[in-house]
Chain A
Amino acid sequence: AQSVTQPDIHITVSEGASLELRCNYSYGATPYLFWYVQSPGQGLQLLLKYFSGDTLVQGIKGFEAEFKRSQSSFNLRKPSVHWSDAAEYFCAVGSNTGNQFYFGTGTSLTVIP
């Protein structure tokens, strides 16, 4: 069955520190992978996506993610976190027909000065 796991419910980092948010997926075919960010009371904004090709993808706001098929992972990284990055982050896997998205439970990021 298809599923997405985000092992970390909540992460706290200091401003300027590096960040890695974990995402593991289970999917029967080639996955299409996404990271979204949600600020409080807001919708979801697409940070980046992976369909094929280079396994290291660059997104907006300085984020990047690396697809590792052997580990079924698609971890999100940022070298230096800003206070404005505090939000909820969701990893998702989509089917090749685009009809179904499976979301992880999200990781809440707190940034301390």
Chain B
Amino acid sequence: GAVVSQHPSRVICKSGTSVKIECRSLDFQATTMFWYRQFPKQSLMLMATSNEGSKATYEQGVEKDKFLINHASLTLSTLTVTSAHPEDSSFYICSARDPRSGGAGETQYFGPGTRLLVL
């Protein structure tokens, strides 16, 4: 299947700083990527849909000025957590839709996730 990478895998930062997380599709071009947040022992919560060359679409309740998303190329989307606070500590997972899987219902392939800890 398609491969999606994330960097870094783990990051610890001080409160008030900004953190950038990268999501890359390694063997395919992804016009659409997705960013999820996962709390311990819970399911994934979709934060935003990232479209190459246009503004991201944020889910209700997600602060777009807090979580900046940039999808500047067909293989890279970035999530920047601005002025991070301890409550932003979480597991962030990206996914990319592989258009090669064909037709309707393209499959989403997930990155390995980024563990963010804000002190």
Contacts and interface: CB of A to CB of B under 8 A. Distances in A.
B104 A96 contact: yes
Contacts of A41: 91, 113, 115
Contacts of B109: 46
Majority secondary structure, B binding face: strand
Contacts of B112: 42-43
Interface stretch (A11-19, A67-75, A76-84, A102-110): A102-110
Given A95-B105, A96-B104, A98-B104, A44 B93 contact: yes
A104 B42 CA distance: 9
B6 interface: yes
A34 B107 contact: yes
Interface string B74-113: 0000000000000000010101010000011111111111
A63 interface: no
Nearest to B59: A100
B108 to A, nearest CB: 6
Nearest to B44: A103
Interface residues of B, number: 27
A25 interface: no
B94 to A, nearest CB: 9
A103 B43 contact: yes
A42 B111 CA distance: 8
Interface string A29-60: 00010101000011111100101000000000
Interface in A85-113: 90, 94-101, 103-106, 108
Contact of B104 (A43, A51, A104): A51
A101 B93 CA distance: 14
Contacts of A49: 107
B1 to A, nearest CB: 6
Contacts of A104: 43
B105 A32 contact: yes
A10 to B, nearest CB: 10
B97 A98 contact: yes
Interface of A: 32, 34, 36, 41-46, 49, 51, 90, 94-101, 103-106, 108
A-B complex: 3 closest residue pairs judged by Cβ atoms: A32-B105, A96-B104, A44-B110
